[in-house]
Amino acid sequence: MPPAFAVADTCLQHPALTDEETMTHLLHRQIHGSLPVAIGGKGIELIDAGGKHYIDASGGAAVSCLGHAHPDVVAALHSQFDRIAYAHTSFFTTEAAERLGDRLVEDAPPGLSHVYLVSGGSEAVEAALKMARQYFVEKGEPQRRHIIARRQSYHGNTLGALATGGNEWRRAQFRPLLIETHHVDPCFAYRFREPGETDEAYAARAAQALEDKILELGPEEVIAFVAETVVGATAGAVPPVADYFKRIRAICDRYGVLLILDEVMCGMGRTGTLHACQLEGISPDFMTIAKGLGGGYQPIGAVLLGRQIFDAFANGSGFFQHGHTYMGHPMAAAAALAVQEAIHRDLLLDNVKAMGGRLTARLQARFGNHLHIGDIRGRGLFQAIELVADRGTKEPFAPGLKVHAKIKRQAMQRGLMVYPMGGTIDGACGDHVLIAPPFIVAPHEIDTIVERLGEAVDAALRDFE
Ligand code: PLP
């Protein structure tokens, strides 16, 4: 397979490490088994120690929005490193963090006026949950204690975020440690829309589930509703139907419930608009962002929050009772700022829309009539195929078959990184493969991604025929 570009010399100066020689103490090796050693990357490709190239068609886990070794980000990191690598936020602010905060608010959905910088998605969700609770304590409504979220969702792996997520497989063994949360069905047209039901009727029914739950719990006791604007890892690029989130916003407003949109995976341009909720025509009270914020160049996440939240804190106790050692880290802020500036300057959201359209067309052409692809869905460069044992009944493959893992293995053999995940244990969603290439992807690369994915899916499924 010819490389699409010259590999940086430094990548290949490392001696090729064998499995036995490297990282034998790392827990993630025990979980994922034998892994190639990544020694370099450039553009949309990663290179392993054997010199093999992989197209990064998932941006890792929908992270690498600018691809690898982007010169602007590398330069920004060098420059920040030369000035200051770390300064604790209780002593100092930094220019990088200040500029990133300004930029994020400038581009935020209406009403979001402040930023809380953290180091990743789970931390952002934890902070949003705690801020929402403290907001009501500040306002003199300490009886508010319930969090409502949705089934088939993922909000992170720390205990609060895990409790909020609606993925039973991830939660089951930790249940005794989890705070009590409540879950309603997501807006997931392929799985939950009734035959013949219009978008409008389905949006109303799906949103009604939230109102019913609020009324059941007692509106004066509910803190917040948490949802991914476009569902990512658990169900695979599931967009809402039109008007669902407008109805959700109205219901939250009716009962004084805060709306937390988790855009850790679907946000920061991945769906073609900077924030996925822009297409829904609503603003949340809190929005969590991470992955595409720093594009993987540094670990970073953030909570964007509304003016009313900030005012309640400012006029009340005067501080948010929370904090992490690395929040507002200047290296992370400098990386995120450079990533966001490059996306803006190079008009990459236009490319997300154009290449997203091409990706949809290619996926439809390759899998539209495939016996085991039940659904092709998503927005922008955030798309997925869902695998089913039977297209007619939508019955998923048995989870024990691990179809997703076989597809991943086949794809890696073909030099393709995609992000397959297993179905839900309640059978409400089958195995799926998430495709989320960097925003710089070119048309011929979209074609190659779908070509290799088609081969990988067919090779994986041959075992079951
Ligand atoms: N929220 C969503 C929607 C996610 O997809 C993820 C990660 O995949 C998280 C939160 C957790 O982010 P992190 O893995 O950075 O903690």
Identify the residue whose C-alpha is closest to ligand 1 atom 9.
156
Instruction: Characterize the bridge pairing of strands 432-435 and 419-421.
Output: antiparallel
Q: Is the pLDDT of residue 234 over 70?
A: yes
Q: Tens digit of pLDDT for each residue in 136-175?
A: 999 999 999 999 999 999 999 999 999 999 988 889 999 9
Q: Look at the alpha carbons of 399, 405, 411, 413 in this order and tell me if their dihedral is positive or negative.
A: negative
Q: What is the pLDDT confidence band of residue 23, given thresholds at 50, 70 and 90?
A: low
The pTM assigned to this predicted structure is 0.95
Q: To test the ligand 1 pocket, which listed residue (63, 117, 122, 327) has its Cβ within 8 A of the most ligand atoms?
A: 122
Identify whether the C-beta of residue 185 lies closer than 8 Å to the C-beta of residue 153: no
Phi, psi of 346 (to 5 degrees): -90, 10
Minimum-distance ligand 1 atom for the alpha carbon of 61: 8
Close Cβ partners of 87 (under 8 Å, ≥ 6 residues apart)? 93, 94, 330
Q: Is 232 in the pocket of ligand 1 (CB under 6 A)?
A: yes
| Per-residue pLDDT tens digits for 268-284 | 999 999 999 999 999 99
CA of residue 308 relative to chain centroid, distance: 26
Is the CB of 265 within 6 Å of ligand 1?
A: yes
Separation CA 428–CA 183 (nearest Å): 14
Given a cut of 50, whether residue 4 has pLDDT beyond it is: no
Binned at pLDDT 50, 70 and 90, residue 370 comes out as very high
Centre of ligand 1 to C-alpha 222, Å, is 24
Pocket residue to mutate for ligand 1, from 265, 287, 298, most atoms within 8 A of Cβ: 265
For residue 464, what pLDDT is reported?
75
Kindly provide the ipTM of the predicted complex, given to two decimals. 0.99
Distance 294 CA to ligand 1 centre (A): 14
CB 125 near ligand 1, within 6 Å:
yes
Whole-number Cα distances in Å, 124 to 344, 385, 392? 24, 28, 40
Mean pLDDT to the nearest integer, 80-104:
97
pLDDT band at 12 (very low <50, low <70, confident <90, very high): very low
pLDDT tens digits for 417-438?
Answer: 999 998 777 778 889 999 999 9
Computed over every residue of the chain, the mean pLDDT equals 93
Q: Residue 145 Cα, ligand 1 centroid: separation in angstroms?
A: 23
Structure confidence by residue, pLDDT tens digits, 49-58: 999 999 999 9
Pairing type for strands 382-387 and 373-379 reads: antiparallel
Q: Whose CA is nearest to atom 5 of ligand 1?
A: 265
In this predicted structure, the answer to whether residue 18 has a pLDDT above a threshold of 70 is: no
**pLDDT number for residue 13:** 45
296 lines ligand 1 (CB under 6 A): no
Average pLDDT score over residue span 393-405: 94
Say if residue 115's pLDDT is above 80.
yes
Residue 158 CA: nearest ligand 1 atom is 16
Q: Is the CB of 137 under 6 A from ligand 1?
A: no
